[in-house]
Structure 1
Amino acid sequence: MSGEIATAPAGGVARMSRRVMNLAHILTQNARRHGDRPGFIWAGRQWNWKEIDAAVSALAAGLAARGIVKGDRILVHSKNCAEMFWSMFAAFRLGAVWVPTNFRLMPDEVAYLGTSSGARAFLCHGDFPEHAAAVKAESKVLDFTWRIGEGAFGETSLDEVIAANDGAQVANRAVDADDPCWFFFTSGTTGRSKAAVLTHGQMAFVVTNHLCDLMPGTTESDASLVVAPLSHGAGVHQLVQAARGVPTILLPTERFDIDEAFRLIETHRVTNIFTVPTILKMLVEHPAVDKHDHSSLRYIIYAGAPMYREDQKAALAKLGKVLVQYFGLGEVTGNITVLPPALHDPDDGPGARIGTCGFERTGMQVSIQGDDGDELEPFQTGEICVIGPAVFAGYYENPEANAKAFRDGWFRTGDLGHMDNEGFVYITGRASDMYISGGSNIYPREVEEKILTHPAIGEVAVLGVPDPVWGEVGVAVCVARDGQAVSEAELAAFLGAKIPRYKMPKRFFFWEQLPKSGYGKVPKRLVRDELEARGLLEQIAKRAEQ
């Protein structure tokens, strides 16, 4: 806890709590140094850093007057907007904890997150009255709900609070390195989402690390476009941008309008974007990429999942060598590996680092470990584990999850992969995605990469399903490119020359689209749910019995 002093063991130095910079000091710095420069641009309006700092202080004053103190959790359920950005820094300024949710979640899911986090305040976008009602009904500690934007619920709106406290001066609360600032919810690939506790000290390292490894040379002359919810990775990215006085530009609505995205890139000379592979693929394949000037782009940072090689080559051909890949879970705040632009080779020739997610981030250490926790030799497949200052403090009030997540101090990512002799990491897939067919381990990503080399296939997901003979067999769910078509037999014949027979999917299905999460990923659990809903799992089982 903040303020505690612990005695070091036998002859050591007493370990004291470490005072660190409150992350809201970033705004204080920007208001001083770049006060009249734009810091936020959205829907035809822009705010300079002095205006942003003033709005954050006014909101912080209103929250404090309503009883919010250091350590309190503030639940935020909102589409991307200016007030959501203000709410993050207002929480930090008070030493409170920002608890953002994905705005695409259902009311009962947000109610669970509000209850499990113990939130005292709820800032809810006006488009979600059902969510406000659900949180209020479920929570036993919620003190008040304020509305973001127009609507008919809540005590008041954030606009009214900010106007009422115009001119208020709120100092940044003193914080220690281990004081929480953000509950970052996991995407919940299995079971309920968990709140990963991010701290002021940890996030100061993350900001520095991102600037060092992902976008070196970033200054206030750059500009950043947001194409993902600020509740997760995009929010971390924008905190990093703010640390260098870079203006953040939002799409005007929550709809992912690719033509508008490229128009904003051209208009504001955008230099960096954070996204995920599926969204990057959509940007590259849209006609707008050829209609607008995007030569200002220096860094397109993608994460959340490895990018298939064919998609990677297409992006490099359209955009040039501006791609930056990083591997990192929310629990490590994106800080495990990096593959910079120079190592994104558009050709498959000798020396190309095909399939790697890069090397260890500055200040971080990666270990490929077996089930016993021992480190494996190069090229041996095991679990990717990591230590370093970017690793989170643990899951909030979840000792069971913490016990599973850590071993001998190493955070266990749950991802499988190997490392080569030079320290480059290669992800095989999630441990939960691997399936065993006839006693052999099958890693879906390897099969997916081969399928995507077929010119008619644009997307694919391979997963294991139960089989009475082999234990599990693979099925491939494919999406054909526009105007293209391929039969199951043709695709099987194409793939047969590229992989061993035991890795061959038993069935190939063709859908118009793959189910995606709110962050643009394709979770295998959603594909499995859709297979079941369509009666295809039952169909496969019956065929196996015949």
Structure 2
Amino acid sequence: MSNAASPKGGVAPCSTRVMNLSNFLTQAARRYPEEFALVWGEKQWRWSEMEARVNAMAYALANEFGVKKGDRILVQSANCNEMFESMFATFRVGAVWVPTNFRQTPGEVAYLAEASGATLMICQAPFADHARECSALSAGPRKFISIGASEIGEDYDATVARNLGKVFKPEAVDRDDPCWYFFTSGTTGRPKAAVLTHGQMAFVINNHHGDLFPGTTQRDRSIVVAPLSHGAGVHQLCQVAHGVTTILMPSDKLEIGRFWSLVEEWRVTNLFTVPTIVKMLIEDPSVDDYDHSSLRYVIYAGAPMYRADQIKALQKLGAVMVQYFGLGEVTGAITVLPPILHSLEDGPQARIGTCGFERTGMQVQIQDDAGDEIAPGETGEICVIGPAVFAGYYQNAEANAKSFRDGWFRTGDLGHVDEQGFLYITGRASDMYISGGSNVYPREIEEKLLMHPAVSEVAIVGVPDPVWGEVGIAICVLQPDARLDGAELRSWLDGKVSRYKLPKKILFWEEMPKSAYGKIAKKLIREELERRGEIDGTGQKLSA
């Protein structure tokens, strides 16, 4: 046989069949039928109950609503038991879960419905306007299920009730069969649907358990403080895989005192969130009113945590902080900074500013514009390969062509690695600006500004300038009762960074614009600067 005809590796191709992800729920129900799977306010569901409800909804999706393998199911809902169940019911029928962020407008959700090709929509009753807008699309969903009483669609709980006890066999799936369209946040344009698959997600779940919260068992408890539509949904899927109880906040508003009371009541051991939420949790006085010694892993992602905030969190919570870096397209699995590498002291072991080292099974490379690897210490684009990388963007050949190069996924983030492979993020490529011919990376200056005791939050954006090409505008939120003006803060910063990096202007706002996931969003900051007349529609600075 010639080499050209030989199969790869010298063996015949084998099956790519993998476990349907919904089987994690079935496994937990078999092992721990009477233990709690989910807690939401005063309601509690045991694993056996949740398995029965998911099976009933899967039966209804296939036999009453005609959902077939590969169909897309759009879900518009705040966190609740039905939304959590919808993930597993969708997986079970071999369909694709398309969750939205519930804070999006009806028009934004209609775009997601159209972009995903969804044929059915599960919509919580308060969002009936979203369902109506989707139903008006020429190629939008034609079947609807309502969570709660609504004039649109079949009632979710009634559908479950009439199908309890009916037998449904989970759909067979292959490694590359899609299970989740993970929509990007769209901070630089329209959201794109990153296609996550059953095989990829199985790797991610194992990777999360190995790298983020090792030793997690059914005795652990996990609390949810972010929408299940994105990173929190991945985190909770991992918890189901090991039979961990999930606790939802009673309302979609983050009541910090209630959060800490639930941590104490349920002896919560882990949570997933973003740095801005960690900051809110530890700075609220209620953190000292409740026992949080049960916490083992406080996992934060979405953005690096500023050093000043990191120290506060370590002082308040102890050695429980876990940072990971990873976009939705890589399902959170690029680097990890475990608790042992979070240090209170600013010494050699602290590695201040790093987001950690490569996740198990993943490889990171810093590349120049030509796609060549550059030396440690040099800044370039962070690129990654490995089984956690998504399958590509759904029906978006242009975005796929831009995002992949020689098999590497291009994150769009800038950074460098040290000699030991620890990654340092400089910022988004789109955040960098050029002032007087020199590259300025806002994060470096933001870190310094946050060391001032009066500054609580900060963001720097680059804007056009007729003399320097571009200059920085710093937006700051002060600590409660703090007093500070721009000249004082600029003088304090002078000498801590190069003169060309000093913001041209410093503004003080009551609050910082944030995305629906609690992250400081520079796209929203630019829009607010324009609204306030600080820059014009092209980003040009209007005032000195």
**1:18 and 2:13 correspond:** no
CA offsets, 1:19-58, max 9 Å, x none? 0000011011111111111000001111111100000011
CA offsets, 1:214-241, max 9 Å, x none? 0000000000000000000000000000
Does structure 1 retain, via aligned residues, the 8 Å contact 2:534–2:543?
no
Does structure 2 retain, via aligned residues, the 8 Å contact 1:102–1:518?
yes
Aligned to 2:336: 338
Aligned to 2:99: 100
Does structure 1 retain, via aligned residues, the 8 Å contact 2:134–2:140?
no
Deviation at 1:211, TM superposition (A): 0.2
Aligned to 1:280: 278
Aligned to 2:86: 87
Does structure 1 retain, via aligned residues, the 8 Å contact 2:73–2:96?
yes
- Partner Cα separation in structure 2 for residue 204 and residue 445 of structure 1: 34
Change (3 A) 1:138 1:115: same
**1:113 and 2:112 correspond:** yes
- Partner Cα separation in structure 1 for residue 209 and residue 351 of structure 2: 23
Deviation at 1:540, TM superposition (A): 7.5
- Partner Cα separation in structure 2 for residue 109 and residue 141 of structure 1: 13
Give secondary structure in 1 for the equivalent of 2:463: strand
Give secondary structure in 2 for the equivalent of 1:462: strand
- Partner Cα separation in structure 1 for residue 228 and residue 112 of structure 2: 17
Q: 1:313 pairs with 308, 311, 314, which one?
A: 311
Q: 1:177 pairs with 150, 172, 175, which one?
A: 175
Aligned to 2:125: 126
**More displaced 10-residue stretch of structure 1: 254-263 or 165-174:** 165-174
Give secondary structure in 2 for the equivalent of 1:15: coil
- Partner Cα separation in structure 1 for residue 175 and residue 3 of structure 2: 18
Alignment of 1:483-522 (within 5 A): 483-522=481-520
Alignment of 1:291-370 (within 5 A): 291-370=289-368
Does structure 1 retain, via aligned residues, the 8 Å contact 2:113–2:140?
no
**Matching residue's letter, 1:349:** G
- Partner Cα separation in structure 1 for residue 342 and residue 119 of structure 2: 46
- Partner Cα separation in structure 2 for residue 161 and residue 39 of structure 1: 21
Change (3 A) 1:370 1:59: same
Does structure 2 retain, via aligned residues, the 8 Å contact 1:54–1:168?
no
Deviation at 1:8, TM superposition (A): 9.9
- Partner Cα separation in structure 1 for residue 298 and residue 542 of structure 2: 46
CA offsets, 1:285-331, max 9 Å, x none? 00110000000000000000000000000000000010000000000
Aligned to 1:146: 145
- Partner Cα separation in structure 1 for residue 159 and residue 136 of structure 2: 24
Aligned to 2:66: 67
Deviation at 1:542, TM superposition (A): 4.3
CA offsets, 1:398-435, max 9 Å, x none? 00000000000000000000000001000000000000
Deviation at 1:141, TM superposition (A): 4.8
Alignment of 1:417-436 (within 5 A): 417-436=415-434
Change (3 A) 1:59 1:485: same
Give secondary structure in 1 for the equivalent of 2:535: helix
CA offsets, 1:132-185, max 9 Å, x none? 10000014252301101232322x111010011111121221100000000000
Deviation at 1:10, TM superposition (A): 3.5
**1:374 and 2:369 correspond:** no
Give secondary structure in 2 for the equivalent of 1:151: coil
Aligned to 1:3: none
Deviation at 1:16, TM superposition (A): 4.4
- Partner Cα separation in structure 2 for residue 52 and residue 507 of structure 1: 55
Change (3 A) 1:215 1:367: same
- Partner Cα separation in structure 2 for residue 123 and residue 542 of structure 1: 46
**Matching residue's letter, 1:489:** A
Deviation at 1:17, TM superposition (A): 4.5
**1:442 and 2:437 correspond:** no
Does structure 2 retain, via aligned residues, the 8 Å contact 1:17–1:177?
no
Total equivalences in the alignment:
537
Aligned to 2:228: 230
Aligned to 2:454: 456
Give secondary structure in 1 for the equivalent of 2:253: coil
Aligned to 2:190: 192
- Partner Cα separation in structure 2 for residue 163 and residue 90 of structure 1: 14
Does structure 2 retain, via aligned residues, the 8 Å contact 1:202–1:392?
yes
- Partner Cα separation in structure 1 for residue 248 and residue 459 of structure 2: 31
TM-score (norm 1): 0.97
Change (3 A) 1:141 1:111: closer
Aligned to 2:240: 242
- Partner Cα separation in structure 1 for residue 120 and residue 450 of structure 2: 47
Q: Alignment RMSD, CA only?
A: 1.3
Does structure 2 retain, via aligned residues, the 8 Å contact 1:111–1:139?
no
- Partner Cα separation in structure 1 for residue 248 and residue 148 of structure 2: 16
Does structure 1 retain, via aligned residues, the 8 Å contact 2:226–2:232?
yes
Deviation at 1:397, TM superposition (A): 0.4
Aligned to 2:52: 54
CA offsets, 1:497-520, max 9 Å, x none? 201110000000000000000000
Give structure 2 stretches of 5+ with no counterpart.
none
Deviation at 1:486, TM superposition (A): 0.6
Does structure 1 retain, via aligned residues, the 8 Å contact 2:341–2:349?
no
Does structure 2 retain, via aligned residues, the 8 Å contact 1:367–1:386?
yes
**Matching residue's letter, 2:100:** T
- Partner Cα separation in structure 1 for residue 406 and residue 138 of structure 2: 36
Give structure 1 stretches of 5+ with no counterpart.
1-6
**More displaced 10-residue stretch of structure 1: 294-303 or 25-34:** 25-34
- Partner Cα separation in structure 1 for residue 35 and residue 102 of structure 2: 30
Does structure 2 retain, via aligned residues, the 8 Å contact 1:42–1:252?
yes
